[in-house]
Chains A and B, each alone.
Chain A
Amino acid sequence: DADVTQTPRNRITKTGKRIMLECSQTKGHDRMYWYRQDPGLGLRLIYYSFDVKDINKGEISDGYSVSRQAQAKFSLSLESAIPNQTALYFCATSSSGTWDTDTQYFGPGTRLTVL
């Protein structure tokens, strides 16, 4: 969905490096999410934010941190990248409302390789 953009689209880095993945949205949504996707494991939630002052850990937050700089921007950081963080990362957004009836809109993904 062009309303949700992720940068970079591809990144190769080395073990121990600090990496930041950025997500921007023009949908005006309050809620933003970061997922990682691994073959055979589907999507797993890393962090989510329901507004600028609300940050919550997801299923697999260890080794990651996030920053919600503005309503439209949500960044994911790997403070010291390790090879098992090699994955496809997706950002998603949804509008305010009942948590479980939200429709999430996904960005195109960032493919991260940690050597």
Chain B
Amino acid sequence: LAKTTQPISMDSYEGQEVNITCSHNNIATNDYITWYQQFPSQGPRFIIQGYKTKVKNEVASLFIPADRKSSTLSLPRVSLSDTAVYYCLAFLGGIYNQGGKLIFGQGTELSVKP
């Protein structure tokens, strides 16, 4: 069964680094992993995307091990405004239109405290 798994919630303090890991043990060979951020009463918003090793942009880093069965979103020096739900997204189970599915993780609720 295609599935992605994330921790349900995490707590942190301002200025700390936060790492959120998503497991996706059935990811297709050529598929990317994407992370989204969602604030209350809003739609999800793209954060970062990667295929393997490490990707970095102005807001986050993404680490993907060689086996690609998991990925870790890293948020450096979080602030109160980073309090949100974070979702990983992967295309699992095979090739598009041949049984593959677009699967969101259940989301990780990050709470950043002063």
User: Which A residues lie within 8 Å of B44 (CB)?
Assistant: 43, 90, 104, 106
Q: Can you identify 14 A-B contacts, CB atoms within 8 angstroms?
A: A1-B43, A35-B104, A43-B44, A45-B101, A45-B102, A56-B97, A58-B101, A59-B101, A99-B91, A100-B28, A100-B32, A105-B46, A109-B41, A109-B42
- How far is the CB of B7 from the nearest CB of chain A, in Å? 13
Given A100-B32, A101-B32, A103-B34, also A42-B43 (CB < 8 A)? no
- Size of interface on A: residues with Cβ below 8 Å to B: 25
Q: A73 within 8 Å of B by Cβ? A: no
How far is it, in angstroms, between the C-alpha of A108 and the C-alpha of B87 when the chains are bound? 17
Q: Which one of B43, B49, B106 has the greatest number of beta carbons of chain A within 10 Å?
A: B43
Pairwise interchain contact B43-A107, C-beta atoms closer than 8 A: yes
User: Which B residues lie within 8 Å of A106 (CB)?
Assistant: 42-45
Pairwise interchain contact A59-B46, C-beta atoms closer than 8 A: no
Pairwise interchain contact A104-B106, C-beta atoms closer than 8 A: no
- How far is the CB of B28 from the nearest CB of chain A, in Å? 8
Q: Which residues of A contact B (CB under 8 A)?
A: 1, 4, 35, 40-45, 48, 56, 58-59, 90, 92, 99-101, 103-109
Pairwise interchain contact B30-A100, C-beta atoms closer than 8 A: yes
Pairwise interchain contact A42-B107, C-beta atoms closer than 8 A: yes
Q: B14 within 8 Å of A by Cβ? A: no
User: Which A residues lie within 8 Å of B104 (CB)?
Assistant: 35, 42-45
Apart from A42-B104, A48-B102, A100-B32, 5 more pairs, CB < 8 Å: A58-B102, A59-B103, A101-B49, A106-B43, A108-B41
How far is it, in angstroms, between the C-alpha of A44 and the C-alpha of B36 when the chains are bound? 14
- How far is the CB of B17 from the nearest CB of chain A, in Å? 24
User: Which A residues lie within 8 Å of B82 (CB)?
Assistant: none
How far is it, in angstroms, between the C-alpha of A43 and the C-alpha of B8 when the chains are bound? 14
- How far is the CB of A54 from the nearest CB of chain B, in Å? 10
Pairwise interchain contact B43-A92, C-beta atoms closer than 8 A: yes
- How far is the CB of B30 from the nearest CB of chain A, in Å? 7
Pairwise interchain contact B30-A42, C-beta atoms closer than 8 A: no
Pairwise interchain contact B49-A99, C-beta atoms closer than 8 A: no
Cβ < 8 Å to A, chain B residues 85-114: 87, 90-91, 96-97, 101-107
